[in-house]
Amino acid sequence: MTNKILILPGDGIGQEVMIEVEKIIGWFNSNKDFNAEIEYGLVGGASYDADGVAISDATMQLAQKSDAVLFGAVGGPKWDDVAYEHRPEAGLLRLRKELDLFANLRPAICFSSLSDSSSLKKEIVEDLDILIVRELTGGVYFGEPRGIEELENGNRRGTNTQVYETWEIQRIAEVAFELARKRKNKVTSSEKRNVMESGLLWYEEVKKIHQEKYNDVELDHMLADNCGMQLVRWPKQFDVIVTDNLFGDMLSDVAAMLTGSLGMLPSASLGKAVNGLFESALYEPVHGSAPDISGQGIANPLASILSFSMALKYSFGRNKDSKLLEDSISKVLDDGSRTKDIADDGDFISTSEMGNKVIENLEILNKE
């Protein structure tokens, strides 16, 4: 059986970091019978330059047929003036929507050897391990009506719609509760029920499904603004946070920064599971295309490599291989290897040297 992987490097440092991911896949092919068959496609600005769209129908078909999509990053100032529907981000949103990737898992883990890099005090973030479960195919990102219109009085009006139906809330809540059971068994659900009816519905539905199916899991409800504040005040109070598309976008950036290393954080966007494995899935680093440093060979490839490690676990059921890869990365960090973003003004190594270090440590740990 071959494992079909589609690599979409995208723009900026996305292209550089995905080269390192390919090396890692190659290692698993040679040493662990991983049997990956890789295809490549364009997305974002790169796709716009080639095809005039942020992702082509042909690439969408490849994505539909693959077991996992590995995504780099999209965007950059070069495409600031392209028509809104063709902006680089539209490629990512189309993938999420058409593959029905409704569950976005964003772990915020503070590697102990990096706990000095956070802007928060060491004791607040040391050993932090929280998971944000963000609803990814609904809410204001996709709600209708939307648009900008001219009004008769000369003003213009911009509209977006925050809308959720019960089934959308239920399915993401189930993902959060299931994941919590494998962790510290606690879920915090976050919305703005004090202002928005969609938030009230969210609150009621999460509460209901908890009572019906998951009352062994501890559940808290927290208004989204307070949740942002609590994340910075005392992040270790959280285990799993479940929230909607827009709040999840913001809260996951806050959580990411707690760890002091945006360049280290992976994510998984998952569709429906069949027998515990996700049939469609996209894995991407939380960081963006970073046009300011692209082309210099200094980007940190670890977030993308950790995203592949999530793919090993969620799409291919290879928990041991996933752990081996994570351990190799921890060891690389413990040994003091740093890319520029996490170097604290000390010595740093290049993107490709970091990829090679991970491979060296895979070799070592694999023999143990």
Q: Annotated active-site positions, please?
A: 141, 192, 225, 249, 253
* Longest Cα separation, the chain: 74
Nearer to ligand IPM, 90 or 240 (CB): 90
**CA torsion through residues 170, 176, 181, 186, sign:** negative
Rounded to whole angstroms, the Cα distance separating 297 from 16 reads 7
**Strands ordered across the beta sheet of 186-191:** 36-40, 3-10, 68-73, 281-285, 266-270, 103-109, 129-135, 240-243, 186-191, 218-223
**Closest distance to ligand IPM from the beta carbon of 282 (Å):** 10
Rounded to whole angstroms, the Cα distance separating 66 from 281 reads 9
Nearer to Mg ion, 168 or 249 (CB): 249
Rounded to whole angstroms, the Cα distance separating 55 from 210 reads 39
89 binds, among ligand IPM, Mg ion, none (CB under 5 to 8 A by kind): ligand IPM
265 binds, among ligand IPM, Mg ion, none (CB under 5 to 8 A by kind): none
Cα–Cα distance list, 168 to 90, 159, 212 (Å) = 22, 22, 17
**Closest distance to Mg ion from the beta carbon of 255 (Å):** 11
Beta bridge partners of 73: 10
Q: In this chain, which residue has its C-beta nearest to ligand IPM?
A: 89
Total interface residues for ligand IPM by CB under 6 A = 3
Site residues (vs Mg ion, CB under 5 A): 249
**Closest distance to ligand IPM from the beta carbon of 148 (Å):** 18
* Ranges within 242-301 binding ligand IPM (CB under 6 A): 249
Q: In this chain, which residue has its C-beta nearest to Mg ion?
A: 249
Ramachandran category for residue 168: left, alpha or beta (phi over 0 → left; psi -120 to 50 → alpha)? alpha
**Closest distance to ligand IPM from the beta carbon of 249 (Å):** 5
Nearer to ligand IPM, 125 or 265 (CB): 265
CB distance 340 to 59 below 8 Å: no
Nearer to ligand IPM, 249 or 341 (CB): 249
Reduced to 3 states (helix: H, G, I; strand: E, B; else coil), residue 92 is helix
Q: How many CA atoms lie within 13 A of 319 on its CB side?
A: 2
Nearer to ligand IPM, 3 or 245 (CB): 245
Nearer to ligand IPM, 75 or 355 (CB): 75
Rounded to whole angstroms, the Cα distance separating 301 from 306 reads 9
* 92 contacts ligand IPM (rule: CB under 6 A): yes
Give contact residues for ligand IPM (rule: CB under 6 A). Answer: 89, 92, 249
